[in-house]
Amino acid sequence: MNQYPAWKYLLLVVVMIVGALYALPNLYESDPSVQVSTTRGGKIDESVEARIKTRLSEKNIAYKAVEKNDPSRLLVRFSNTEDQLAAADFIKDTLGDKYVVALNLAPSTPHWLQSLGALPMYLGLDLRGGVHFLMEVDMDAALQKALERYASDLRTVLRKKGKVRYLSIRPQGDKLVVKFRNAADREKGRELIHSEYRDLVLKDVDEGKTFILEASVSKKELREIRKLALEQNITTLRNRVNELGVAEPVIQQQGDRRVVVQLPGVQDTVAAKRIIGATATLEYRAVDTEHDVNDAVNGRVPAGSKLYKDRNGRYYLLKNRVIVTGDQIINARSGFDSQGGQPQVTVTLDGKGAHKMLEFTKENVGKPMAVVFIENKSTTRMVNGKRVVKNRKVEEIISVATIRDVFSKRFQTTGLDSPQEAHELALLLRSGALAAPIRIIEERTIGPSLGADNIKQGFESVVIGFILVLIFMALYYKVFGLVADLALAMNLVLIVAILSMLQATLTMPGIAGIVLTVGMAVDANVLIFERIREELRNGNTPQASIHAGYAKAFSTIADANITTLIAAVVLFSFGSGPVKGFAVTLSVGILTSMFTAIMGTRAVINLAYGGRRLQRLPV
């Protein structure tokens, strides 16, 4: 009656061994580390590693190990945060601007566990630390971008729809300046622009023999431009964080031009900063083959064109007209071309971009087209005790190729330095273009010392709750209580193991979920043991009482746990980051407690009492 088949005992043993194995990495502490990586996905050679070791030895800074698990990344481990902080400054001075140096916490899990895929679970920003960014959207750039779009649209409307002759259309400050030859053309242009674009405020200005029409954005439209720029940037940042695979990120608006990004449990802080803070995009432009590049280099740049450099320092003259921009790219995938095996990005355009590219390539087969890589970079310097931020726009040609055939929606971009750069560029383009440049005005790498008190208090709450439950169960239910205590210990191990397998992020609310699970886990055993007592009082034999206790209490246990599980699922579906963390640990705890409290304790009791003649039970 009270015997399990051998496969059930074997299943329990396997589950506990696997659980203990995957929970084990959480016992190893993380090492304070300094992470070094290249700025453009290149390789770190042995000379860099030798320079770092020599520099640290000269400064008498002890390090545990220097690891190079990735060709483009180097990790230097230390025993304490003091050595880590001191070493970071020296390494920055040694390597200069060609490398990115960042503080990190590297797990010290043994290699034999890592080979099995056993890794510690992430700790949230409030426990382990992570990265906190405060980012500001450049609203002036958002306005300039809107004015450039208006300028492109006005050229099309005046030239094709109204057949109105004009001298030039260009942004100037916060306005668009449209120049005409005479007052009649200006008046005709004014009527056409007013009928097509109600959000533009028009004003006549006479300047000698030139007739000027100034178009400025209305206050309502300006507010809308800024609002949309902020919303699109938040969406883009969220897409980029999703590409990084960060658990429980916090991305929220602060004020009318700032965004807060928190990445708890981030393993690669350098990659996070590079991807989140990057503003890289592409522009496809026609090459100006009608004018001499050397004249432009000497200062005689023709109207309607602009001088650019490629990555080898060669000059090219490109048309001002942009064929397609990054915000018209709906998908991008990195790979290698079939001929030379060089890194490339396969780009897919939206309908509008595909139409523009089709029209351009139809008219320009046999002519060259350039791909311009654009990135906004900001550097922070301390000047007279004040922090000064300088913004710099980097524009360089990554590819110039002759258009061999007509294409539109899908094509390839080559000329990238490395597969890593192709991968990151594809990620940025895939996650969406930024409506306006953003810069990091505050960056905090939150170390474990800030969360030490939280970790200590959270650990103590679990331990105290666990011990009190152990004592109560042992005193009240005697030997059966000790079996329940064993099941409770098994339950905690399984919770930690499953969270580690899922690579979940543990936060303070998550710890609260574990504490609640510790209290709830013994509920099932209390119901079972009380039912066994009742059966004994009714005169049933010990063996029959054990069987009836587990059989009759099961439906009540299932009802109680399923309703709690439904509540946890709802919390996860509709809650924010901290609430989701609580819901995950609660859900996992409910499932593991049902397994250990019902099947686990039954297996132990069956082994201890199942094949014996009993007069009484120690319950």
- pLDDT tens for 185-223 read 888 888 888 888 888 888 888 777 778 888 888 888 888
Each residue's pLDDT tens digit, 103-114: 677 778 888 888
More confident residue, 282 or 33: 33
User: What per-residue confidence (pLDDT) applies to 33?
Assistant: 83
Q: What is the pLDDT of residues 475-488, one digit of tens each?
A: 888 888 888 888 88
Whole-model pTM above 0.75? no
Looking at per-residue pLDDT, the higher value among 103 and 134 belongs to 134
Residue 489's CB is within 10 A of a number of other CB atoms, namely: 13
d(CA 564, CA 78): 44
Question: Using one digit for the tens of pLDDT, what is the confidence trace for 432-478?
Answer: 566 777 777 887 776 555 556 767 777 788 788 888 888 888 888 88
pLDDT for 589 beyond 80: yes
> Higher model confidence: residue 161 or residue 591?
591
Residues 76-101 as b or e (16 or more Cβ within 10 Å = b): bbbeeeebbebbbebbbebbeeebbb
Residue 611 has pLDDT above 60, yes or no: yes
pLDDT digits (tens, 9 = 90+) for 296-329: 888 888 888 889 988 778 899 998 888 888 777 7
* CB neighbour class for 110 (10 Å; exposed up to 12, middle 13-18, buried from 19): exposed
Identify which of 264, 217, 255 has the alpha carbon closest to the alpha carbon of residue 234.
255
Separation in Å, CA 375 to CA 173, 275, 277, 532: 22, 12, 10, 72
60: CB partners within 8 A, 6+ apart: none
With a cut of 50, say whether residue 245 has pLDDT above it. no
- Mean pLDDT, range 88-98, rounded to an integer: 76
Whole-number average pLDDT of the chain: 80
What's the token pair of residue 21? 């194995």
pLDDT value at position 275? 64
**What is the helix (H) or strand (E) element at residue 36, kind and residue range?**
strand 30-38
Q: Position of tokens 């005479």?
A: 182
Would the pLDDT of 2 be above 80?
no
**Residue with tokens 């015997």, as numbered in its chain:** 3
Note the pLDDT of residue 98. 67
The pLDDT of residue 370 is above 80: yes
Q: Which of 3-17, 101-115, 238-252 has the largest mean confidence?
A: 3-17
What integer pLDDT is reported at residue 474 of this predicted model?
85
pLDDT of 170 > 70? The answer is: yes
Q: According to the per-residue pLDDT averaged within each range, which of 63-77, 278-292, 398-412, 581-595 is highest? A: 581-595
Token digits of residue 598: 């019902």
Q: Greater confidence, 101 or 240?
A: 101
| Three-state DSSP state, 218 | coil
User: Quick one: which of 48, 40, 39 has its CA closest to 76?
Assistant: 48
Query: What single DSSP character describes residue 310?
Result: B
d(CA 53, CA 411): 46
- What pLDDT does residue 616 have? 76
Higher pLDDT, 523 or 123: 523
Concatenating the DSSP letter of every residue in 252-272 gives: EEETTTEEEEEEET-S-HHHH
Average the pLDDT over 268-273 and give the result.
Answer: 62
Specify the higher pLDDT residue, 200 or 613.
200
Sorting pLDDT into bands at 50, 70 and 90, what band is 21?
Answer: very high
For residues 533-550, average pLDDT: 84
Query: Which tokens is 619 given?
Result: 């319950």
The span from the CA of 93 to the CA of 88, in Å, is 9
Other beta carbons within 10 Å of 317: 22
- Spatial separation of the C-alpha atoms in residues 237 and 144, rounded to whole Å: 21
Coarse DSSP helix, strand, coil percentages of the chain, rounded to the nearest 5 percent = 50, 25, 25
Q: What's the pLDDT at 387? A: 57
pLDDT > 90: what percent of the chain? Answer: 3
> What value does the mean pLDDT take over residues 169-174?
83
Name all domains of the chain by residue range, CATH numbers in brackets: 6-24+450-609 (1.20.1640.10), 30-108 (3.30.70.260), 140-218 (3.30.1360), 222-445 (3.30.1360.200)
Q: Which tens digits make up the pLDDT trace of 286-304?
A: 999 888 888 888 888 888 8
The residue among 508, 503, 469, 511 whose CA lies nearest residue 597 is 469
